[in-house]
Copies of this chain bind each other. A is one copy, B any other.
Amino acid sequence: MGIVNRRITLAARPVGEPTEADFALVEAPVPELGDGEVLVRTRWLSLDPYQRGRMSSARSYAAPVELGEVITGEAVGEIVESRTRRHSPGELVVGPFGWQEWATARAGSLRAVSGAAPPSTSLHVLGMTGLTAYFGLFDVARPRPGDTVVVSAAAGAVGQVVGQLARMTGCHTVGLASAGKLEDLTETYGYDTAIDYRREDLAAALKAACPHGADVYFDNVGGAVSDAVSRRLAVGARVAVCGLVSQYNLAEPELAPRNLGFLIVSRVRMEGFLVTDYRHRFPEGLGRLQRWVEEGRLTYREDVVEGLEQAPRAFIGLLRGENRGKLLVKVADA
């Protein structure tokens, strides 16, 4: 086609916090289309903390990105050419297109963009992060009305949805975030209490916010913040372990006092999960999330960065908690 495909590739495996030098902006030909595939022009990239794990060679639930390869990730793209009857040019689809302007993908890896909301929401509240909140909260943490639900990274892409879903369930919601996002927690996402997780007296703030203990802890961060919440768990509490973003940039594991006694003292269930294990139930989750968005019961906030070349810098900021809402890179206009 003669068009240049700009791509962000992994130039080096980050040690500790990633730097822009760990990424390279390269130009390549637009990929060749095979049978059963579509060619898409990327519109929106989803930037998510789990992608830090892909940049490392450590064992995980998915293969790492190889050096020199494009950074993997979900994106929204517009189909430009199709060699499958299931899709036609002009359609907007979500798929594993990665950090590049043009991508090919097999029809089976695509999901239609929801028509009822802006296409970018299919990467967020009507996509992976909304589904992560939905299944992590309802299937793993299983809140009941009257429960106190604590959420870490509560203003993040997943946390903002978790708080609203917990509130819809009749729970008392307590959100942890950095100081600049506390107003978003209470004003936008409806948290009953917002706590600056960096404050010195975090234990006292948690005690005041959860006088009867926390029945559910939806954990996106791990580390010392989670240690503090662990000490406030109520008998029979459930901890849904969604992410451990406080740990992702550590070159060596952090040393911390062993503290798992709370599991026995409070008979706690702590459970990790991956949203992809619920793939067979995505239609259920997306249907409900979409209805709640349409009814105005579920809101969301996007933090949009313009231009593929900005993705590395935005991703570095994401791991520092600099984003305000779901972080997206707008690669091309409609």
Contact = CB atoms under 8 A, between A and B. Distances in A.
A61 B264 contact: yes
A264 B273 contact: yes
* Range for the number of chain A residues in contact with chain B: 20 to 34
A274 interface: yes
A307 B241 CA distance: 49
B222 A265 contact: no
A274 B263 CA distance: 10
Contacts of A259: 253
A271 B263 contact: yes
Interface of A: 59-61, 222-223, 241-244, 247, 252-274, 277
Q: Count this chain's copies in the assembly.
A: 2
A59 B256 contact: no
A259 B259 CA distance: 12
Q: Interface on chain A toward B: helix, strand, loop, or mixed SS?
A: loop
Nearest to A252: B257
Contacts of A262: 272
Given A255-B258, A268-B271, 8 more contacts: A60-B265, A222-B258, A222-B260, A247-B258, A260-B272, A263-B270, A264-B272, A266-B272
A269 B267 contact: no
In the complex, which of the residues A61, A223, A242, A252 has the most CB atoms of chain B within 10 Å of its own CB atom?
Answer: A61
A271 B257 CA distance: 19
B273 A267 contact: yes
B270 A244 contact: no
Contacts of A266: 61, 272
B261 A267 contact: no
A275 to B, nearest CB: 11
Contact of A258 (B241, B253, B265, B268): B253
6 contacts: A242-B264, A244-B264, A253-B259, A254-B258, A255-B258, A264-B274
In the complex, which of the residues A242, A253, A270 has the most CB atoms of chain B within 10 Å of its own CB atom?
Answer: A270
A272 B274 CA distance: 22
In the complex, which of the residues A255, A263, A267, A274 has the most CB atoms of chain B within 10 Å of its own CB atom?
Answer: A263
Nearest to A253: B257
Given A253-B259, A257-B254, A258-B256, A265 B223 contact: no
Given A222-B258, A254-B257, A274 B267 contact: yes
Nearest to A273: B267
Nearest to A277: B267
A277 to B, nearest CB: 6
Contacts of A242: 264
Given A222-B258, A258-B222, A269-B269, A264 B247 contact: no
B263 A272 contact: yes
Contacts of A261: 60, 244, 247
A331 to B, nearest CB: 29
